């Protein structure tokens, strides 16, 4: 069984944060939450985060500024911003993905998260195959057989 991926959710709206946490946990993700960008940055510094999902519009520090600061700490961690104002997309230019709140379904959100985490992991390694008497043989079997020409 694969270890659970950890998602850091950041939103100043406690209700929205609770809904996202529930949605993600029921899909097998480990979820850490922060009610402000400063707390989220501290959690990111501790490591172990596979994805950051944050709100764009927050008091004191907006999501875009949060993403800029987080990318300085952990540039390999993908970051996604959501916002209730579609016009805010222009301000979300530092995130790896942007989704408007309310106009995308929970299924779309989960699919986007799955794709971004898979992209972070990288492509699956290709299985090396050799030909033996016209048939493909996996690399581990070919290494044991002296008749296989690479």
Give pLDDT tens digits for 86-115: 555 565 578 898 888 777 788 999 999 999
CATH number of 6-121: 3.40.50.2300
CB 52 within 8 Å of CB 95: no
Q: Which residue has the tokens 């020409």?
A: 149
pLDDT of residue 150: 43
User: Distance between CA 106 and CA 19 in Å, rounded?
Assistant: 10
Extract the tokens encoding 24: 């993600």
User: Distance between CA 23 and CA 6 in Å, rounded?
Assistant: 13
Mean pLDDT of the 18-31 span:
96
Q: What is the pTM of this model?
A: 0.76
């Amino acid at each position: 069984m694969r270890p659970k991926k950890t998602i850091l959710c950041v939103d100043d709206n406690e209700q929205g944060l609770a809904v996202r946490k529930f949605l993600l946990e029921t899909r097998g993700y480990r979820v850490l939450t922060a009610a402000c960008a400063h707390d989220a940055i501290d959690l990111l510094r501790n490591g172990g985060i596979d994805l950051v999902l944050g709100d764009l519009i927050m008091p004191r520090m907006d999501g875009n500024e949060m993403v800029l600061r987080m990318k300085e700490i952990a540039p390999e961690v993908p970051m996604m911003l959501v916002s209730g104002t579609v016009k805010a997309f222009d301000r979300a230019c530092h995130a790896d993905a942007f989704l408007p709140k309310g106009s995308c379904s929970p299924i779309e959100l989960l699919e986007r998260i799955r794709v971004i985490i898979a992209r972070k992991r990288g492509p699956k390694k290709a299985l090396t195959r050799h030909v033996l008497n016209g048939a493909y043989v996996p690399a581990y079997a070919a290494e044991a057989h002296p008749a296989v020409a690479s």
